[in-house]
Amino acid sequence: MNAPLKVGLLGLGTVGLGMIKVLALNGGEIKRRLGREIVVTDASARDLARPRNVDLGGIRLHADPMAVVNAEVDVIVELIGGISPARELVLAALERGKPVVTANKALLAERGAEIFAAAKRCGVQLAYEAAVGGGIPIIKTLREGLAANVIDSVAGIINGTSNYILTQMAVRGQGFADALADAQKLGYAEADPTFDVEGVDAAHKLSILAAIAFGIPLRFDAVATEGIGQVTAEDIRLAHELGYRIKPLGLAKRAADGFELRVHPTLVPADHLLAKTDGALNAIRVLGNAVGQTLYVGRGAGGEATASAVIADLVDVARLQGLDHSRLVPQLGYAEAAGGEVRVLRFAEIESAYYLRMRVADEPGVLRAITSILAEFDISIEAILQKEPRDHDDALLAIITAPVPEHRCDAALARMLQLPFVRTGASRLRVEHFE
Amino acid sequence: MNAPLKVGLLGLGTVGLGMIKVLALNGGEIKRRLGREIVVTDASARDLARPRNVDLGGIRLHADPMAVVNAEVDVIVELIGGISPARELVLAALERGKPVVTANKALLAERGAEIFAAAKRCGVQLAYEAAVGGGIPIIKTLREGLAANVIDSVAGIINGTSNYILTQMAVRGQGFADALADAQKLGYAEADPTFDVEGVDAAHKLSILAAIAFGIPLRFDAVATEGIGQVTAEDIRLAHELGYRIKPLGLAKRAADGFELRVHPTLVPADHLLAKTDGALNAIRVLGNAVGQTLYVGRGAGGEATASAVIADLVDVARLQGLDHSRLVPQLGYAEAAGGEVRVLRFAEIESAYYLRMRVADEPGVLRAITSILAEFDISIEAILQKEPRDHDDALLAIITAPVPEHRCDAALARMLQLPFVRTGASRLRVEHFE
């Protein structure tokens, strides 16, 4: 019989414990697939004394994570997160010829060049399915399943916390602050929610998706990012009436003069599957020039769902361990680097449809003045909605524009805000139609 | 530089030509991924003289497909379909040590045992991503991406023709025969639509999905199948009013005493993503015990979408060619066969919720008599709808039951049909709730 694959596990948080649980529960089925057992022999955690609701019997526990890297294990699973000490531990494992499976999107997005180069130099596998989309095998899909395609775009709900908050705002009519506080109480959002609600986490994931979709370098630094904190319950209601839902999207697109990498709250047509992905689910739409539109939906977080991806990587690693790199799927999906300069567009250079919302005095001539400004800036109107709420003297005006460069939209909006009957506090969100 | 991968192509139909088109269009991108070109050097077709709208320049054309198998190529792509001569050609290629990529679900479902055994004996790869779900990488997802899971169920819209017909019936209020005729005119359905509308094609695909989801033998012979021809426009309308859509589903489930493999028109809750998958799209829901519910959507047919899957297989085959079988993903996903007897349940043994629809005389006591029968057979009612159409003297009655064994449902329905005020022509469809 084949010897078990011995795993050294760094980090006993949600995903680490989820992995131990799933291996205990599904060990037999996994062995039937792989022909070999997967066993966690060594693990480390910051606080070994902390009570854990999972049986760790048989696992050697270490306070020092480097002791796990140095233990007699076949592969290292890194679930510590963050840049340091994860970076040092991963590099040390690679140097010692140990393959690494990681869920660490921050590390890969921000230090991927260094990490992937080390893996290549050392001739060792580095797998990261769990870094994006939780249990959805989106990395495998992009690197392998859709390998025949020129990928035109990837658009995804890739941060469950933001999606949960916007969904709660829609369902319960809550404001952002209340929905965030509830999400924190329920454990869906961290005490410091910045990474999630400001779009940093989504930008990490998007830069990885874009790299493997287009064969471009990791460009986390260049992702154009806006958080969801600007979205109001009123925006969600108006979007609804206009036939849209507001979703936290990561978008990576091939454009005429470069690549668009952006993360922002987005109006999505209500009948699109992305609009119907609610709660903490993730959904990723990939448009390939041969396959057309494809969509992948599943839990984007959670211990056992993410462990599903980690263990799938372990199965792949076990099968291919020790093979020449030419036998492996290239780390970022491409054997050959992109030729020429890879330009990532700034927000100001991106063309998009927009949703504009403002409060206006309820008097004649308002619509005419607003539409004149739009015409002057050569901005077509796709839809317009004026409402006179019962609890307010002013009217609400919401406009969906045709695609237009951001600077022109902003210039037009600035002009509108100078009109005497337009109140302060306008909102401007992007709209995506997915032809 | 690496030598190109030389492909011998059997069949120049929609998918074969789609493959040549995609290779021409995306050859550069595919080479960037694989580090090697993929080139079709030889091809065969039944009628070589037929005009084709694709540039076949540089491809040696053969009238005899066996000449392609014997040509100096690295891999054979089989896109002929059907059992014979595809079977003989695939076996011949394997015997000659040539890996085979096929989209032939009929061949694999009906003769998979022989074909896979030959591939194993010859130490040659056999890849079949394109056999199910068109361009959706569902085979890779089940065999690799979800390898950590005990798969509880797979439920999918895996026949685009049936989905197109039921969608047209819903959108245009057409009857089955009219919708079928339109689908034939538009090329969505074959002149002989039996394979699609009777569920044979879906049963082929389902038996493959079930084998790789559960690690059981291919059991096409045991798939319980009902066609969509029994669905009326009235059923679709009533289902709508009850909050459901009628979809052509393939279902593979782990049950207490065996496995359920079934294909039938199914009422699906209107808010489930499967209910929203319209037209010729395919959608597959996989429930794994670690990952939870995941969903995969895309084009289930069409030349270029299916070619996307064929070429993805070629990329995998090229990378792993010549490696020992222990390095490869097992053909049907499992290195070890299922222990013990694998029992596939018959329809009569399967428990399901049901939709019952009948015409009843518009007189007092009807509902009481019907509900008394249901109570007598210990069948709970989830929903009930009685309508008095303007154009008819009789009333329409539709009932959604709680899950109940089929024989009990049928016995109750038979009793109802004996009631003096119940007209002939009742309908009985299954309902699926996807907890």
SS (H, E, C) chain A: CCCCEEEEEECCCHHHHHHHHHHHHHHHHHHHHHCCCEEEEEEECCCCCCCCCCCCCCCEEECCHHHHHHCCCCEEEECCCCCCCHHHHHHHHHHCCCCEEECCHHHHHHHHHHHHHHHHHHCCCEECHHHCCCCCCHHHHHHHHCCCCCEEEEEEECCHHHHHHHHHHHHHCCCHHHHHHHHHHCCCCCCCCHHHHCCHHHHHHHHHHHHHHHCCCCCHHHCEECCCCCCCHHHHHHHHHCCEEEEEEEEEEEECCEEEEEEEEEEEECCCHHHHCCCCEEEEEEEECCCEEEEEEEECCCHHHHHHHHHHHHHHHHHHCCCCHHHCCCCCCCCCCCCCCCCECCHHHCEEEEEEEEEECCCCCHHHHHHHHHHHCCCCEEEEEEECCCCCCCEEEEEEECCEEHHHHHHHHHHHHHCCCECCCCEEEEECCCC
In whole angstroms, what is the distance from residue B162 CA to residue B176 CA?
10
Task: Compute the nearest-CA separation of B200 from chain A (Å).
Answer: 25
Show residues of chain A in contact with B271, CB under 8 Å.
276
In whole angstroms, what is the distance from residue B12 CA to residue B45 CA?
5
In whole angstroms, what is the distance from residue B75 CA to residue B85 CA?
18
| pLDDT for res B47 | 87
Show residues of chain A in contact with B338, CB under 8 Å.
32
Show residues of chain B in contact with A311, CB under 8 Å.
147-148, 290
| pLDDT for res B1 | 56
ipTM of the complex as predicted: 0.95
Cβ pair A26:B148 closer than 8 A: yes
Best of B33, B171, B273 to mutate (most A CBs within 10 Å, chain A): B33
Cβ pair A150:B304 closer than 8 A: no
- B299 close to A (CB below 8 A): yes
Domain with CATH 3.30.360.10 in chain B: 138-298
| pLDDT for res A311 | 98
**What is the token pair recorded at B390?**
């303007």
- A279 close to B (CB below 8 A): no
Domain with CATH 3.30.70.260 in chain A: 350-431
- Is the pLDDT score of A94 beyond 60? yes
In whole angstroms, what is the distance from residue A365 CA to residue A176 CA?
33
**What is the token pair recorded at B343?**
């029992």
In whole angstroms, what is the distance from residue A280 CA to residue A278 CA?
6
Name B297's bridge partners: A295, B283
Q: What average pLDDT does range A347-366 have in this prediction?
A: 92
Show residues of chain B in contact with A25, CB under 8 Å.
150, 289-290
**Strand-pair category, B5-10 with B75-78:** parallel
* Amino acid (1-letter code) at residue A417: L
Closest C-alpha among B328, B352, B277 to residue B99:
B328
Confidence band of A425 (pLDDT split at 50, 70, 90): confident
Confidence band of A418 (pLDDT split at 50, 70, 90): very high
**Tell me, which fold does domain A5-137+304-327 have in CATH?**
Rossmann fold (3.40.50)
Pick the CATH number of A350-431 from 3.30.300.20, 3.30.70.260, 3.40.47.10, 3.40.190.170: 3.30.70.260
Name B38's bridge partners: B5
In whole angstroms, what is the distance from residue B96 CA to residue B115 CA?
14
Residue A262 backbone phi and psi in degrees, to 5: -145, 150
Residues of A forming the active site: 205
* Amino acid (1-letter code) at residue A278: D
Sign of CA dihedral A20, A26, A28, A34: negative
Q: Which residue of A has its CA nearest to B27?
A: A148
Cβ pair A135:B288 closer than 8 A: yes
Q: Nearest 5°: CA angle at A95, between A90 and A99? A: 60
What does CATH list as the number for B138-298? 3.30.360.10
Write down the architecture of domain A138-299 according to CATH. 2-Layer Sandwich (3.30)
In whole angstroms, what is the distance from residue A214 CA to residue A332 CA?
10
Domain with CATH 3.40.50.720 in chain A: 5-137+304-327
In whole angstroms, what is the distance from residue B409 CA to residue B406 CA?
5
**Strand-pair category, A75-78 with A100-102:** parallel
Residue-wise pLDDT for A196-254, tens only, equals 999 999 999 999 999 999 999 999 999 999 999 999 999 999 999 999 999 999 999 99
In whole angstroms, what is the distance from residue A273 CA to residue A271 CA?
6
In whole angstroms, what is the distance from residue B403 CA to residue B382 CA?
9
Label residues B256-283 b or e (16+ Cβ within 10 Å = b): eebbbbbbbbbbbeeebbbbbbbebbbb
Name A352's bridge partners: A404
**CB of B160 closer than 8 Å to CB of B201:** no
Task: Compute the nearest-CA separation of A424 from chain B (Å).
Answer: 38
In whole angstroms, what is the distance from residue B355 CA to residue A126 CA?
51
Domain with CATH 3.40.50.720 in chain B: 5-127
Q: Three-state DSSP class for B294? A: strand
Best of B294, B310, B331 to mutate (most A CBs within 10 Å, chain A): B294
Dmax (CA) of chain B: 84
Cβ pair A135:B292 closer than 8 A: yes
Burial class (CB in 10 A: 0-12, 13-18, 19+), B64: exposed
CATH H superfamily, domain B5-127: NAD(P)-binding Rossmann-like Domain (3.40.50.720)
In whole angstroms, what is the distance from residue B340 CA to residue A380 CA?
67
Closest C-alpha among A354, A345, A327, A326 to residue A412:
A354
Per the omega criterion (within 30 degrees of 0), is the bond before A85 cis? yes
Nearest to A294 among B276, B298, B310 (CB): B298
**CB of A247 closer than 8 Å to CB of A166:** yes
**CB of B300 closer than 8 Å to CB of B171:** no
- B25 close to A (CB below 8 A): yes
Show residues of chain A in contact with B311, CB under 8 Å.
147-148, 290
Best of B31, B151, B291, B332 to mutate (most A CBs within 10 Å, chain A): B291
**What is the token pair recorded at A4?**
């078990």
All residue ranges of chain B with pLDDT < 70 are: 1
Tell which A residues from 117 to 136 touch B, by Cβ distance under 8 Å: 129, 134-136
Cβ pair B334:A33 closer than 8 A: yes
| pLDDT for res B325 | 86
Residue B152 backbone phi and psi in degrees, to 5: -85, -40
| pLDDT for res A1 | 56
Cβ pair B148:A323 closer than 8 A: no
In whole angstroms, what is the distance from residue B23 CA to residue B1 CA?
19
| pLDDT for res B412 | 96
Cβ pair B297:A298 closer than 8 A: no
In whole angstroms, what is the distance from residue A287 CA to residue A23 CA?
34
- B272 close to A (CB below 8 A): no
- Is the pLDDT score of A338 beyond 80? no
Name A398's bridge partners: A357, A385
